[in-house]
Amino acid sequence: MATAAWLPFARAAAIGWMPVANCPMPVSPMDNSKRQDELIILNVSGRRFQTWRTTLDRYPDTLLGSSEKDFFYNEDIKEYFFDRDPDAFRSILNFYRTGKLHYPRQQCISAYDEELIFFGIIPEIIGDCCYEEYKDRKRENLERLQDDQEENKDMKLPHMNFRETMWRAFENPHTSTMALVFYYVTGFFIAISVITNVVETVPCGPTANQKDMPCGERYTVAFFCMDTACVMIFTVEYLMRLFAAPSRYLFMRSVMSIIDVVAILPYYIGLVMSNNEDVSGAFVTLRVFRVFRIFKFSRHSQGLRILGYTLKSCASELGFLLFSLTMAIIIFATVMFYAEKGSSSSKFTSIPASFWYTIVTMTTLGYGDMVPKTIAGKIFGSICSLSGVLVIALPVPVIVSNFSRIYHQNQRADKRRAQKKARLARIRISKSGSTNTFLHNKRNGLLNELLELTDTEEDEQKRTKYTSLLQSQHHHLLHCLEKTTAHEFVDEQMFEQNCLETVLQTYPSPSPSISSHDSSAGTCCGRRVKKNSPLPNASMPSTYSVPSNQCPLQELSAMHIQCCDPSSRTASRSNLNLKTNESSRINCKSGRITTAIISLPSPPALTPDGDGLRGPLQRRPPQPQPQQQPPGHPAALSIQTTSSSAGTNIVKVSAL
């Protein structure tokens, strides 16, 4: 309370009760932390704010008023340091000083909200002067977020049954081709139906036996057929919507469905009714309702819907307009009637008859079929027309501004939808970029380990350095996750290739087992499982061949490094299996680098071309590196495998 400053006074004044008190008084609470009031320095991102301690103590349930601020106390500079926005902090500190929280207009609403939450202040205590603005901005923001969320409705939910799919197709025609086709077909038929109704009444030209007849009566059958066709389409559409609607009751109550019903009912009623004279009058009336079909266009047109919504939201202004007009009409009609009563052959035969004149005059139509002849009538008639202009002009701008606001909101929503797609694409690229960085760095990390052992001069420079400690720690974390689950991250395309390959096969490699072979037999989609055979040691003869159908064990897959280095590719890949070549080709198109697990053959004993090692090491200009490896260096990279009975094998690659 701001009146906390006056509490000492109120307590002191309580001495006035003492002489008349009946019972002894309770002991007063001790104020142990009796400090002299001191200045506190609050350093918010460099801007220093100073205030009295007691000012902050006024609101003990906020951050600044409680001991929570001790967490931010910096011993070295003897200040409370907050790494927040100093502009927003101004209004927060003013809240302590004056007891009123103000919302600055130029501040972004969500930034302001975050600051309030951080400092522990509830937004409800924003003063009346700024509360309207705050609430308006907050509502706007919420609507914007809701708009964005509604976009997610377009996303395919994984398990939608037929009914839900249909409903979605009806509500958002752009989600599937069928829906779009349906949308256009119904639109076309609505147009046909309306045009038919209009053309029906046009005089078609004289026939043999009669003069001008409207077309409808001349080509009755044709028009009837057209009408029937349209009504059938509409009926089918209505029934389908009714079937697909999640809540049938709500659907039947909605405006659009009522319009649908009203549009098709006259036809059926006409069918049912016989052609006798009594009811044909009513029948004619029913035909009028056929024009309601044009309202079905509002599903197809955004603008119509906005118009309808605007009129609904301006109901009060429209009501006021109507009421004031009615009042004015009655007044002026009465006056005109009595003014014109005296003149001969006056058209103003009664007050209701004068209503017509008043309306025509007030809306400045002025048909001239009823004209005042007396002086009084003319005077009052002119007053009537002047006031009509005013009365009608007043509520109209309100309606216009409402319409404009809603329309622009819709425009903004559409624009946001379009921009959102681009935004999402960009976000996806950056996300995949970071995954690629991880994979890239992991490979480089392993290579670094490898290179450490081989350790030639120029390789040192080629070692990639991590760009930041943060990144290296993040990658280490991902690496640990991989190790924990014994699976590996791959990027999308690799993953899809693997899926593709399992469909195709697993091609048994003619060359020794070391040859890299993409294998992802088994559970491809979902995990990239690496199967491994108990890898041959150095002495593995070239006769080793893995029958593909035996156990789903294959070698480690070498990941293909695409460095747009065609020579190296062709040189080494020649007898790697086709698959890899294809996939490498596919990879190369995108020029990406995929992760490599190094499958090292150790030994020089192997045929020079079977080396998976070749793969990763193609990064450097091809050197006869493997050959140079001494036989005693077989364990530079050893691949340990363990096979589990479950058929999935865990591959560990480690550098010794």
> Considering beta carbons, is residue 54 or 324 the nearer one to another protein?
54
Query: Using an 8 Å Cβ cutoff, are 352 and 336 in contact?
Result: no
Cβ 346 vs Cβ 340: under 8 Å: yes
Shortest Cβ 356–another protein spacing (Å): 20
- Tell me the closest approach of the beta carbon of residue 365 to another protein, in angstroms: 23
Q: Is the Cβ of residue 118 or residue 338 nearer to another protein in the bound state?
A: 338
Residues 257-316 that bind another protein (CB under 8 A): none
**How far apart (Å, rounded) are the C-alpha atoms in residues 315 and 308?**
11
Distance CA(360)–CA(348), nearest Å, equals 14
Spatial contact of 317 and 399, defined as CB atoms under 8 Å apart: yes
Phi first, then psi, for residue 25 (nearest 5°) are -85, 155
- Shortest Å distance, C-beta 324 to another protein: 20
Window of 173-181, 208-216, 283-291, 333-341 that interacts with another protein by CB under 8 A: 333-341
Nearest-angstrom CA–CA distance, 366 and 185: 44
Instruction: Decide: residue 284, CB within 10 A, 0-12 exposed, 13-18 middle, 19+ buried.
Output: exposed
> Angle of helix 315-340 relative to helix 351-362, nearest 10 degrees?
120
Interface segment toward another protein; rule CB under 8 A; list 34-42, 78-86, 390-398, 499-507: 34-42
Rounded CA-CA distance 248/451 in Å is: 70
Question: CA-based angle 118:119:123, to the nearest 5?
Answer: 90
Give the whole-angstrom CA distance, residue 123 versus residue 103. Answer: 10
Q: Which listed residue (42, 56, 194, 335) binds another protein by CB under 8 A?
A: 335
User: What count of other Cβ atoms lies within 10 Å of the Cβ of residue 532?
Assistant: 25
- β partners of residue 373: none
Of 32 and 67, which has the nearer Cβ to another protein?
32
With contact defined as beta carbons under 8 Å apart, do 453 and 624 qualify? Answer: no
Closest distance of CB 41 from another protein, Å: 18
The conformation of residue 6, written as its DSSP 8-state character, comes to: G
User: CB neighbours of 412 closer than 8 A, spacing ≥ 6?
Assistant: none
Residue 30 or 422 having the CB closest to another protein: 30
CB 516 within 8 Å of CB 558 = yes
Residue type at 562?
Q
Q: Does 632 bind another protein (CB under 8 A)?
A: no
Nearer to another protein, 33 or 152 (CB): 33
Which residues pair with residue 21 across a beta bridge?
A: none
| Of positions 49, 52, 289, 297, contacts another protein by CB under 8 A | 52
Give the 3-state DSSP-derived string for 219-237, with helices as H, strands as E and coil as C: CHHHHHHHHHHHHHHHHHH
Please, which residue, 24 or 621, has the CB nearer to another protein? 24
Give the residue, chosen from 166, 314, 339, 391, that forms a contact with another protein under the rule CB under 8 A.
339
- Of 546-575, binders to another protein (CB under 8 A) are none
Min dist. Cβ of residue 201 to another protein (A): 47
The CB-of-268 to another protein minimum distance in angstroms stands at 57
What does the DSSP 8-state code read for residue 561? B
In the complex, minimum distance from the CB of residue 22 to another protein, in angstroms, rounded to a whole number: 8
Shortest distance (Å) from residue 340 CB to another protein: 9
Query: Residue 538, Cα to own-chain centre: how many angstroms?
Result: 57
Provide the 10 A C-beta neighbour count for residue 471. 14
Q: Identify which range of 30-38, 311-319, 417-425, 440-448 contacts another protein by CB under 8 A.
A: 30-38
Task: For the CB of residue 347, give the shortest distance to another protein in the complex, in Å.
Answer: 16
Q: Residue from 156, 341, 412, 431 that binds another protein (CB under 8 A)? A: 341
33 is an interface residue for another protein by CB under 8 A: no
Q: Are 563 and 619 in contact, with CB atoms under 8 Å apart?
A: yes
**Stretch in the footprint of another protein (CB under 8 A) among 88-96, 340-348, 537-545, 595-603:** 340-348
Residue 344 CB, nearest distance to another protein (Å)? Answer: 11
- Which of 216-224, 315-323, 336-344, 409-417 is the region at the interface with another protein (rule: CB under 8 A)? 336-344
What whole-number distance in Å separates Cα of residue 545 and Cα of residue 294? 75
Closest CA relative to residue 52, chosen from 41, 63, 67 = 41
Report the nearest approach of another protein to the CB of residue 387 (Å).
11
- Candidate list 49, 51, 54, 402; residue touching another protein; CB under 8 A: 54
Question: Cα–Cα distance between 628 and 647 in angstroms, integer?
Answer: 36
φ/ψ (deg, to 5) at 433: -60, -40
354 vs 441, beta carbon nearer another protein = 354
Query: Is 3 near another protein (CB under 8 A)?
Result: yes
- Residue 84 Cβ vs another protein, minimum distance, rounded to whole Å: 26
Looking at residue 591, the DSSP 8-state letter turns out to be T
Q: Minimum distance between the CB of residue 13 and another protein, rounded to whole angstroms? A: 6
Using an 8 Å Cβ cutoff, are 517 and 612 in contact?
A: no
Binding window for another protein (CB under 8 A); candidates: 170-178, 335-343, 414-422, 621-629: 335-343
Q: According to CB under 8 A, which residues from 4 to 23 bind another protein?
A: 5-21, 23
CB of 19 to another protein, least distance (A): 5
Choose, by CB under 8 A, the member of 206, 303, 319, 342 that binds another protein.
342
Site string for another protein, 94-113 (x = CB under 8 A): ---x----------------
- Residue pair 69/80 in contact (Cβ under 8 Å)? The answer is yes
> Distance between the two ends of the chain, CA-based, in angstroms?
70
Nearest CB to another protein, comparing residues 14 and 453: 14
Per the structure block, which two tokens stand in for 533?
Answer: 């055979």
Rank residues 24 and 632 by Cβ distance to another protein and give the closer one: 24
Within residues 364-403, the interface with another protein by CB under 8 A covers: 374-376, 379-380, 383
Question: Residue 652 and residue 482: Cα distance in Å, rounded?
Answer: 11
Please give the size of the binding site for another protein, defined by CB under 8 A.
44
Task: Provide the binding-site residues for another protein, judged by CB under 8 A.
Answer: 1-3, 5-21, 23-25, 28, 30-31, 34, 36-37, 52, 54, 97, 335, 338-339, 341-343, 374-376, 379-380, 383
